[in-house]
Amino acid sequence: SDLREQQERGELLQPLIFVLLVLCSVLLYFKVSLMDPGFVKPEEEAKAGEAEGQSLVIPQATGEVKLRRCGYCLVKQPMRARHCQLCQHCVRRYDHHCPWIENCVGERNHPLFIAYLSVQLVVLLWGGHVAWSGLYFQQSWKWLQHNIFLLLSFFLIVIFTIVVLLLLVSHLYLISCNTTTWEFMSYHRISYLRHSKLENPFDQGIILNLWRFFC
């Protein structure tokens, strides 16, 4: 009867939505961590994709940029690819190797990585709100003994929320500029950026950059 009354008042809807968000976050985590981030195939299997990728990826580039052969896996790297020594593969549109998911973030899983961060941020904000609403501060040792775990949980949630928020904002900024974390951090070490007359030859405007990334 109590469950029926809570259901009629809509009090069970919020916990259900929260559980679904947590489940969605877990599924996205495993999807991003287990999927192929865009590993470069052997040269004989990738020749067709290289020509198409170059014409689409660097529409404003000036001058000829020579493709290099990877010194580790011996494949000819497409534009914006980089070898990851942890994954032992070259990754197309390499962004970074994420220790949290134990996988590279690249051409194929980068949009899902953004979706994972977004859902995770919502879960953390919701969990932080629940933890905060359960705290009733009193200046006594007995109160601290009974609420120490809730207090620690709240501070941990705050720390993780700040980390995820900073990650999400920084990635959205780089996506809006059509650049990657690797290109942003190592601009002067990358030949196709260092020899370009444009500061960012891939930038086609915020709207088009976001559209091409997500759609």
CA 201 → CA 31, 90, 119, 173, 193, distances in Å? 31, 22, 32, 16, 8
CA-to-CA distance for 209 and 177, rounded, in angstroms? 7
The tokens of 145 are what?
Answer: 């003994």
Which residue out of 24, 70, 87, 98 is catalytically annotated? 98
Helix 206-214 crosses helix 110-133 at what angle (to 10 degrees)?
90
CA-to-CA distance for 209 and 215, rounded, in angstroms? 10
Q: Is 177 a catalytic residue?
A: no
Cβ atoms of residues 83 and 68 within 8 Å: no
Q: Where in the sequence numbering do the catalytic residues fall?
A: 98
